[in-house]
Amino acid sequence: MTEHGYVWRQIEGLLQNASQSVTLIAPFIKKPIFAAVIAAVPTSVEHIRCVTRWTPAEVAAGVSDPEVIELAESDERIHIDLCPALHAKIYLADHRCMVGSANLTGKATGRVPGSNFELLVEIATEHPEVQRVLEQVDAASSEATPQQAALVRRQAELLKVETGPPQAECAEVATPTWYPATRRPENLYSFYSGRGTFASAVEAGIMRDLALLNIPVGLGEDEFNAAVRTGLHAIPELRKLQDGESLSNVELESAIALHSGVNDALARRRTENIAAWLRHFDSYYTEVGTWEIRRGRELN
């Protein structure tokens, strides 16, 4: 325990006095710290709820472990939910509540060297702001599954291959410029939500797209589509579209080849894929021949 282990002692003291239920809300949770947390909860406590978030980049960076799901599989008291927009840190034991900055990681709790400067303060569970956030979290959460945990881990490992292993526990991972690899974007959400089965080559392309888009696990279809659109709009060669202009396939191919240093065939393939994604996820259509991407829907 480091000299900054006061935060851990706060959490441990809160949990050791629980008698009925425990709720742990934190975006970043490491499996060893989660195991220590569970060990601090009296065996008489019947319900332990954990709310967290999983994104490929954060898992690749080493700040969050989807493998916490394994502890839930071995302890029926534990229920893990995912809240993709989560940023709050709230710890509840029966009617006591602590809020602050500390995640359930080694550095945040002071259980490893080089720990962070963190803050946790006790507050009334009935405080209006606490209740407001708890209601938001409840409304935006869904139950985590082992399949989701495995999927985000696979994406994280792929990211580490693309970007190199993380140098330290850090929430940020630099990712290369992303261009869609999947030629049939309508397959994306089916795979993401665990409803589709695809050939290995198709699955590999979808996996890479999801990893580089860094889409959080647990989104509904509308939220998923919005996250994909955000990723598409971030492609630098599509800036003209964001400015309300049209963009020809020739212009786009040329810009991709120049920016990425790829050959004409790959630039053409990327251009075709981008057009397909814009048609599926956004309000764009392409004309035939030497075509242009335009906002709107094609008239029949």
Can you read off the two tokens belonging to residue 71? Answer: 């502890």
Non-local CB neighbours of 216 within 8 Å, separated by 6+ positions = 53, 54, 55, 82, 84, 227
* pTM, to two decimals: 0.87
pLDDT at residue number 78: 98
pLDDT at residue number 168: 55
Domain boundaries, the chain: 6-144, 177-295
* Alpha-carbon span 109 to 1, nearest angstrom: 9
pLDDT at residue number 195: 87
Question: For 94, how many CA atoms within 13 A lie in the half-sphere containing its CB?
Answer: 12
Q: Binning pLDDT at 50, 70 and 90, where does residue 286 land?
A: confident
pLDDT by residue (tens digit) across 218-262? Answer: 999 999 999 999 999 999 999 888 888 888 889 999 999 998 889
Mean pLDDT of 199-216: 94
Percentage above 70 pLDDT, the chain: 91
**Span of 22-36, 180-194, 197-211, 273-287 with lowest mean pLDDT:** 273-287
Stretch (H or E) spanning 248: strand 247-248
pLDDT at residue number 36: 97
* Alpha-carbon span 17 to 51, nearest angstrom: 21
Question: Contacts for 243-252 with beta carbons within 8 Å, 24 or more apart?
Answer: 244/295, 246/292, 246/293, 246/294, 247/292, 247/293, 248/290, 248/291, 248/292, 248/293, 249/275, 249/286, 249/290, 249/291, 249/292, 249/293, 250/290, 252/293
pLDDT at residue number 294: 72
Handedness of CA 205, 211, 215, 218 (dihedral sign): positive
pLDDT by residue (tens digit) across 123-167? Answer: 999 999 999 999 999 999 999 999 999 999 999 999 998 876 655
Are 136 and 127 contacting, i.e. CB atoms less than 8 angstroms apart? no
CA distances (Å), 24 to each of 103, 186, 264, in order?
Answer: 10, 36, 52
Q: Binning pLDDT at 50, 70 and 90, where does residue 299 land?
A: very low
**What DSSP character marks residue 216?**
P
**Span of 30-34, 76-80, 117-121, 162-166 with lowest mean pLDDT:** 162-166
CATH superfamily of 6-144: Endonuclease Chain A (3.30.870.10)
H helices of the chain, in order, are: 6-16, 31-40, 56-61, 69-74, 106-109, 128-140, 146-163, 188-192, 200-213, 221-233, 239-242, 249-260, 264-281
Best-predicted range by mean pLDDT (15-24, 107-116, 176-185): 15-24
